[in-house]
């Protein structure tokens, strides 16, 4: 798609990231965002205009009438509600898509309104617990799966065009039907978000003297990071993917009860198998291919366990202008002795670091 007019309704983390990527792909695209609250200065939209990411901010939906492509990037229930208002405004050949985390309801609504032929549901499987344009970046979408869910009426040419566009932005488009999408995301994203928040709330309620908070170590913070996500966004997801979420919550509650019973009955083997099975499956999830998070550029190396060993490596990399995103010792099955894991911002810096460290006689493992 060349020099197209692209509209955005909702311009936060995901809308902003798409706009960054589109702008980098073609400086001639005309990118316009709708400001839904005229009375409140929208810092994100203003900044995007200053950055040259947006060409225009509009305050009336009618002003989106020239769009060739429209991204709905607000919370799920708002995206659904906009469809009815846009029906009489958009051109019949405008491609309408959304980025919401739930696909069944919006696809149904598009068909019910007679917009089914020009609508394709979309869901970038990338993001974070952060919100807003200030946290957006084209890198968020790089190498991330981007699910597309055409309705039963979507024209093939429209699905193909969007598929190619998503690919050109650096994501990996895949097609799913909406209900399959909603089941998968309930299991791998929606229920885990509920569980993370339950865990945090359990500690919050029991932590009378803040001792738990003080002592909460890496593991607790790792598995509860997503509890810091936008409450509005997750409220909307729970209210729209309720059936699938309830089904997987039941399965989860069942597995919790199984563990509880194993503990009550002191079933040593069952407790061991429970952790072993989970660990094996967890370790089989690809680390270096696209997943829910961005691609990870990482390498591992053996280091001598002595004061200053990590600092020496960090200095070596810094003096060669290689930036480190994360660094730390890890212990897992694969490296029984523990190794230093270093995460980089790009494939290039990861490769440059590997060759530099080998030149300095470090043993480097790339996976």
Ligand X SMILES: O=C(O)C(=O)Cc1ccc(O)cc1
**Spatial CA neighbour of 79 closest among 71, 87, 67, 91:** 71
Q: Which stretch binds ligand NAI (CB under 6 A): 95-103, 169-177, 242-250, 310-318?
A: 95-103
| 16 sits near ligand X (criterion: CB under 6 A) | no
The CA distance from 143 to 141, in Å, is: 6
**Mind giving me the DSSP string for 107-119?**
HHHHHHTT-GGGE
DSSP category for residue 161: H
CA distances from 26 to 67, 169, 190 (A): 16, 10, 34
Total residues at the site for ligand NAI (CB under 6 A)?
26
3-state secondary structure of 147: strand
| 132 sits near ligand NAI (criterion: CB under 6 A) | yes
| 227 sits near ligand X (criterion: CB under 6 A) | no
| 75 sits near ligand NAI (criterion: CB under 6 A) | yes
| 145-150: strand order across its sheet | 56-58, 30-34, 5-9, 69-72, 95-98, 119-124, 145-150, 172-175
- Residues forming beta bridges with residue 339, ordered by sequence position: 330
| 233 sits near ligand NAI (criterion: CB under 6 A) | yes
Q: Quick one: 42 or 128, whose CB is closer to ligand X?
A: 128
Which residue has the closest beta carbon to ligand X? 101
Contact 28, 55 (CB under 8 A): no
Of positions 32, 97, 118, 131, contacts ligand NAI by CB under 6 A = 131
Binding to ligand X by CB under 6 A, coded x per residue (else -) over 87-106, reads --------------x-----
Q: Quick one: 213 or 225, whose CB is closer to ligand NAI?
A: 225
Structure tokens at 351: 């490769």
Structure tokens at 193: 């978000």
Structure tokens at 49: 């205009």
Minimum gap (Å) between residue 110 Cβ and ligand NAI: 15
Q: Which does 226 bind (CB under 5 to 8 A by kind): ligand NAI, ligand X, none?
A: ligand X
Binding to ligand NAI by CB under 6 A, coded x per residue (else -) over 235-274, reads --x-------------------------------------
The CA distance from 190 to 187, in Å, is: 6
Q: Which does 122 bind (CB under 5 to 8 A by kind): ligand NAI, ligand X, none?
A: none
The CA distance from 9 to 17, in Å, is: 13
| 78 sits near ligand NAI (criterion: CB under 6 A) | yes
| 100 sits near ligand NAI (criterion: CB under 6 A) | yes
Q: Which does 340 bind (CB under 5 to 8 A by kind): ligand X, ligand NAI, none?
A: none
Classify each residue of 281-315 as buried b or exposed e, where b means 16 or more C-beta atoms within 10 Å of its C-beta.
eeeeeeeeebbbebbbbbbbbebeeeeeeeeebee
Contact 132, 12 (CB under 8 A): yes
Total residues at the site for ligand X (CB under 6 A)?
9
Q: Quick one: 106 or 357, whose CB is closer to ligand X?
A: 106
Binding to ligand X by CB under 6 A, coded x per residue (else -) over 154-193, reads -----------------------------------x----
Of positions 5, 6, 12, 144, contacts ligand NAI by CB under 6 A = 12
Q: Which does 12 bind (CB under 5 to 8 A by kind): ligand NAI, ligand X, none?
A: ligand NAI
**Mind giving me the DSSP string for 29-91?**
-EEEEE-S-TTS--HHHHHHHHHTS-SEEESSGGGGTT-SEEEE-S-HHHHHHHHHHHTTTS-
| 76 sits near ligand NAI (criterion: CB under 6 A) | yes
Q: Quick one: 51 or 261, whose CB is closer to ligand NAI?
A: 51
Of positions 1, 25, 108, 129, contacts ligand X by CB under 6 A = 129
Nearby residues of 95 by Cβ (< 8 Å), 6 or more positions away: 68, 69, 70, 118, 120, 158, 161, 162
Residues 212-231 that bind ligand NAI (CB under 6 A): 230
Q: Using CB under 6 A, list all residues that contact ligand X.
A: 101, 125, 127-129, 189, 226, 292-293
Q: Using CB under 6 A, list all residues that contact ligand NAI.
A: 9-15, 36, 44, 73-76, 78, 99-101, 123-124, 127-128, 131-132, 230, 233, 237
């Amino acid at each position: 798609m060349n020099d197209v007019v692209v509209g955005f309704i909702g311009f936060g983390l995901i809308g902003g990231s798409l706009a960054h990527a589109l702008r980098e792909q073609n400086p001639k695209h005309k990118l316009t965002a709708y400001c839904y609250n005229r009375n409140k200065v929208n810092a994100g939209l203003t900044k995007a205009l200053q950055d040259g990411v947006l060409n225009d901010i509009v305050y009336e939906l009618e002003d989106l009438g020239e769009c060739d492509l429209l991204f709905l990037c607000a919370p799920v229930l708002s995206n659904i509600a906009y469809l009815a208002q846009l029906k009489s405004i958009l051109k019949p050949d405008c491609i309408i898509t959304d980025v919401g985390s739930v696909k069944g309801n919006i696809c149904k609504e598009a068909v019910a309104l007679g917009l089914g032929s020009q609508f394709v549901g979309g869901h970038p499987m990338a993001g974070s617990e952060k919100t807003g344009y200030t946290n957006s970046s084209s890198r968020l979408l790089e190498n991330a799966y981007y699910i597309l869910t055409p309705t039963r009426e979507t024209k093939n040419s429209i699905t193909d065009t969007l598929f190619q566009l998503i690919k050109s932005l650096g994501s990996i488009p895949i097609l799913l039907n909406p209900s399959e999408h909603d089941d998968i995301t309930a299991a791998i994203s929606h229920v885990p978000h509920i569980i993370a928040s339950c865990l945090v709330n359990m500690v919050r309620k029991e932590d009378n003297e803040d001792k738990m908070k003080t002592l909460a170590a890496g593991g607790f913070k790792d598995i509860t990071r997503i509890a810091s996500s936008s409450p509005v966004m997750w409220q909307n997801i729970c209210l729209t993917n309720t059936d699938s979420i309830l089904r997987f919550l039941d399965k989860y509650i069942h597995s919790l009860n199984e563990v509880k019973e194993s503990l009550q009955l002191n079933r040593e083997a069952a407790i061991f198998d429970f952790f072993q099975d989970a660990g094996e499956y967890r370790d089989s999830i690809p680390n270096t291919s696209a997943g829910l998070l961005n691609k990870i550029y990482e390498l591992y190396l053996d280091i001598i366990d002595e004061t200053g060993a990590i600092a020496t490596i960090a200095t070596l990399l810094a003096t060669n202008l290689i930036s480190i995103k994360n660094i730390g010792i890890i212990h897992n099955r694969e490296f029984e002795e523990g190794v230093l894991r270093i995460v980089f911002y790009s494939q290039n810096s990861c490769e440059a670091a590997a060759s530099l460290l080998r030149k300095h006689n470090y043993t480097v493992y790339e996976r």
